[in-house]
């Protein structure tokens, strides 16, 4: 199998460009996606190839252009809407939750909304409190949508085509620290499933459930722990709605210990949902209570030392894992 070197950003651009070449109904819209090439340079060069009808710069009004995307989807198009950062998606929450997520139900099954919304999420780039939060767990609370969190090049490249083929709204959260991530991608890389978690490292002593940028921190911690004789199973959740209970519970049955690493806040977050599902379905498989490591419950700071301290890091994952294995020794 031949591979090529690429980045997460380039994989996303390639996926969108391929979709637009294949299907004339697909178009991209959002703030600065055209002339500027995207706030995170994901759409750079796409305006030149596809023109302003299919790469549309929008006014700075998230509610307006997400609403326009919903209308286009209802009209038979396949829009990709970029909302820049997930903090700003809250300005379009009415459109997402009260319209896109509910129309199929409220129309008695007559109107699907095949809409894809992309947004950056997460901290670690010194973009301060209005551009750095992880709100994907909030959206995972809403019936009627799918919530995807690609962490690998394969998923960045492959989730888009599958999302565009989905008849329902799909939200894709791209951790902004991953855009520059380099790696090898198979030449024939194509669509991937947008259901199901994936075990990226097998283990027998502890399961780490995570997603996004925290996946790579968790894998680094697992490599260190292997040198201490602790074999950690690392699961990339990939999809926060619907969650893959089967893969999670099978892993709990093997390792009997669970650490959830989530860049979102602890209170009311996706980590609580994961922990409760394990308690409901696998309580007697556990040797220790489910543990979780989340971001500090503060607006994400600008200062680099404070931002680093606010987010899960390899060192804090290591400490939490050792506590689960060794207790207070």
- Show which residues are catalytic: 62, 131
Closest to 279 measured CA to CA, from 268, 293, 291: 291
Alpha helices in 141-212 (DSSP H): 153-165
229: left (phi over 0), alpha (psi -120 to 50) or beta: left
Distances in whole angstroms, Cα of residue 297 to Cα of each of 30, 87, 263, 304, 315: 30, 16, 11, 17, 19
Closest to 193 measured CA to CA, from 216, 167, 169, 159: 159
Closest to 78 measured CA to CA, from 172, 167, 204, 193: 167
User: Is-contact 206 257, C-beta < 8 A?
Assistant: yes
Q: Cis before residue 57, ω within 30 degrees of 0?
A: no
Q: How far apart are CA 131 and CA 5, in angstroms?
A: 29
- The C-alpha torsion from 319 through 302 and 87 to 81, rounded to 10°, is -100
């Amino acid at each position: 199998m031949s591979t090529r070197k690429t980045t997460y950003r380039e994989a996303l651009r390639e996926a969108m460009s391929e979709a637009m070449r294949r299907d004339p109904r697909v178009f991209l819209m959002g703030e600065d996606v055209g002339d500027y090439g995207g706030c995170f340079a994901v759409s750079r060069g796409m305006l030149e190839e596809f023109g302003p009808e299919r790469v549309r710069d929008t006014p700075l009004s998230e509610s307006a252009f997400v609403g326009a995307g919903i209308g286009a989807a209802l009209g038979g198009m396949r829009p990709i809407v970029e909302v820049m950062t997930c903090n700003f998606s809250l300005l379009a929450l009415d459109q997402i939750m009260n319209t896109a997520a509910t129309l199929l139900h409220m129309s008695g099954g007559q109107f699907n909304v095949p809409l894809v919304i992309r947004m950056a999420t997460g901290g670690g780039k010194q973009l301060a409190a209005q551009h750095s939060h992880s709100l994907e767990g909030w959206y995972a609370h809403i019936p009627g949508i799918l919530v995807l969190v690609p962490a690998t090049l394969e998923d960045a490249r492959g989730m888009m085509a599958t999302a565009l083929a989905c008849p329902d709204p799909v939200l894709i959260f791209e951790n902004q620290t991953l855009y520059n991530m380099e790696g090898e991608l198979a030449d024939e890389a194509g669509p991937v499933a947008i259901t199901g978690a994936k075990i990226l490292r097998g283990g027998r002593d502890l399961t780490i459930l995570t997603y996004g940028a925290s996946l790579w921190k968790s894998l680094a911690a697992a490599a260190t722990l292997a040198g201490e004789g602790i074999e950690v199973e690392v699961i990339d959740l990939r999809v926060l709605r619907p969650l893959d209970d089967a893969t999670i519970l099978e892993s709990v049955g093997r390792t009997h210990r669970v650490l959830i690493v989530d860049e979102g806040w602890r209170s009311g977050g996706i980590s609580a949902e994961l922990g409760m599902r394990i308690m409901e379905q696998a309580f007697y498989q556990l040797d220790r209570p489910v543990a979780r490591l989340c971001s500090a419950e503060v607006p994400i700071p600008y200062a680099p030392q404070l931002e680093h301290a606010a987010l899960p890091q390899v060192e804090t994952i290591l400490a939490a894992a050792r506590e689960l294995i060794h207790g207070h020794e």
